Amino acid sequence: MNADRASSLFWLFVGVVISVASFRLDVGSFRTPGMGFMPFGAAALLGLLAVISFFQAAVKEKAANKPPLFRGTRWPKVLFVFAGLLIYVQALPLAGYNISTFLLMTFLFWIVERQQVWKVAIFALLTTVITYYVFSKWLNCQFPVSPLGF
């Protein structure tokens, strides 16, 4: 199955799930639309369009053979960065802005393009300190503080 057809099936699934959930919310009637009225209509239309898109993709698939979407790309890096960001959000309230941001920036500078470790550490430290002072001290943004007090 190609990417277009797979994505159409995904949206069809989303449309069906939300239609069912909206129906349970109370669709109401045309005279007195309930709070599920709009989401039901939108989700049903989404499902319908997903079916059309699926068949369009099936027809196009015969005409053109597209290469796989992720071939020749650095998608594992994107996955690592995505995971790193999610871990950062979890660590932020626990470790505070300075420690978690320093670790995140070290990771990001290193993974985007491999550089010497000391360069990465200096860039990360500078970025953390400058953004902390600009946003926290100057713009009064309230960053979380680590148990160590910074």
Partner 1 sequence: MEILSDLYLGFQVALTPANLLFCCIGVVIGTLVGVLPGIGPVGAMALLLPATFGVAIHSSLIMLAGIYYGAMYGGSTTSILVNIPGEAASVVTCIDGYQMARHGRAGAALGISAIGSFIGGTLSIIGLMLIARPLANAALGFGPPEYFALMCAGLIILTYLTQGSMVRALMMALVGILLGTIGLDMVVGLPRFTFGVNELTDGIGIIPLVMGLFGVAEVFMNIETVIKREVFQTEIKHIWPSLADYAQSKWAILRGSVLGFFLGILPGGGAVLASFLSYGIEKKLSKEPERFGKGAIEGVAGPETANNAAAGGAMIPLLSLGIPPNIVMAMLFSAFLIHGVQPGPLLMQNSPDIFWGLVVSMYVGNAMLLLLNLPLIGIWVQLLKIPYRILMPLILLFCLIGAYSVTNSTFDVSLMILFGGVGYLMRKFGYEAAPLVLAFVMGPLLEQNLRQSLLMSQGSFAIFATRPISAVTLVVACLLLLSNLIPFMKKKREKVEEILKEE
Residues that bind partner 1 (CB under 8 A): 3-4, 7, 11, 14, 18, 21, 25, 29-39, 42-43, 45-46, 49-50, 52-53, 56, 69-70, 73-75, 77-78, 81-82, 85-86, 88-90, 92-93, 101, 104-105, 108-109, 112-113, 115, 123, 127, 131, 135, 139, 141-143
Any bridge partners for residue 33, and if so which?
A: 28
Q: How far is the CB of 88 from partner 1 (least distance, A)?
A: 7
- Residue 75 or residue 150: which is nearer to partner 1 going by CB? 75
Tokens of 68: 């796989």
- Residue 73 or residue 150: which is nearer to partner 1 going by CB? 73
Alpha carbon 123 to its chain's center: 26
In this structure, what are the phi and psi dihedrals at residue 66, rounded to the nearest 5 degrees? -85, 145
C-alpha–C-alpha distance, residues 143 and 140, integer Å? 9
Q: How far is the CB of 149 from partner 1 (least distance, A)?
A: 19
- Residue 86 or residue 150: which is nearer to partner 1 going by CB? 86
Residue type, 112: V
Q: Which of 84, 90, 91 is nearest to 105 (CA)?
A: 84
Q: How far is the CB of 103 from partner 1 (least distance, A)?
A: 12
Q: How far is the CB of 148 from partner 1 (least distance, A)?
A: 19
Q: How far is the CB of 78 from partner 1 (least distance, A)?
A: 5
Alpha carbon 46 to its chain's center: 21
Q: Which of 56, 47, 44 is nearest to 5 (CA)?
A: 56
